[in-house]
Amino acid sequence: MVVQPTVDMAEKWSKQRFTPAAAMMPVMDDLLSNKSRDGGNTTLLKLFAGGILIISGANSAASLRSMPIKRLGLDELDAYPIGLDGEGSPADLATQRTSTFVRRKILKISTPTIKDLSAVDYEFELSDQRFYHVPCPHCVHCQVLRDDNLTDDGRYLCESCGILIEEHYKTQMLAK
């Protein structure tokens, strides 16, 4: 299950992000297009051999309860409503759906908003607080990518050697 802040945003994410990405992967495209012909796929429900993807909005309590979920993605967590129809936090409602799985996976993603009020900042404080490091393709210095080093033209300034890193190095850096 992937949860967006609203049902409207969930529909846009499905149409503008998920569907084009799946279409670029022949295996996913084949799995999903077979189901779309027989009515197994909608904007917010994707059925395929061996799985199901439910795309939901955090503003819909009905879509956040009942069916068990093994893998959950909470996207743009800081934009979720604080409470939902008197049922509590949308993130908590969705997370409860994973409780039957011992090896569940929950991914909480968001741009942090207001310090001390940010849900994703709170979650980060509860974590082991590790950061992802990538090596500079020029000097091999491993660094955390920070907004301060991103230039207006999309390049990144290495904090060690000071050389601008072109966008085409991104895949190589992430692989290492």
Q: Using the predicted structure, report yes or no on whether residue 176 has a pLDDT greater than 60.
A: yes
Cβ count near 70 (within 10 Å): 15
Q: How far apart are the first and last CA of the chain?
A: 29
Using CA atoms, how far apart are residues 103 and 128, in angstroms rounded to an integer? 19
pLDDT in tens, 14-36: 999 998 998 898 888 777 765 55
Residue 114 has pLDDT above 90, yes or no: no
Token look-up 């049902």 returns: 7
Read off the tokens for 106: 């929950």
Highest mean pLDDT among 37-41, 73-77, 128-132, 170-174: 73-77
What six digits make up the tokens of 24? 């670029």
Query: Model's pTM, two decimal places?
Result: 0.76
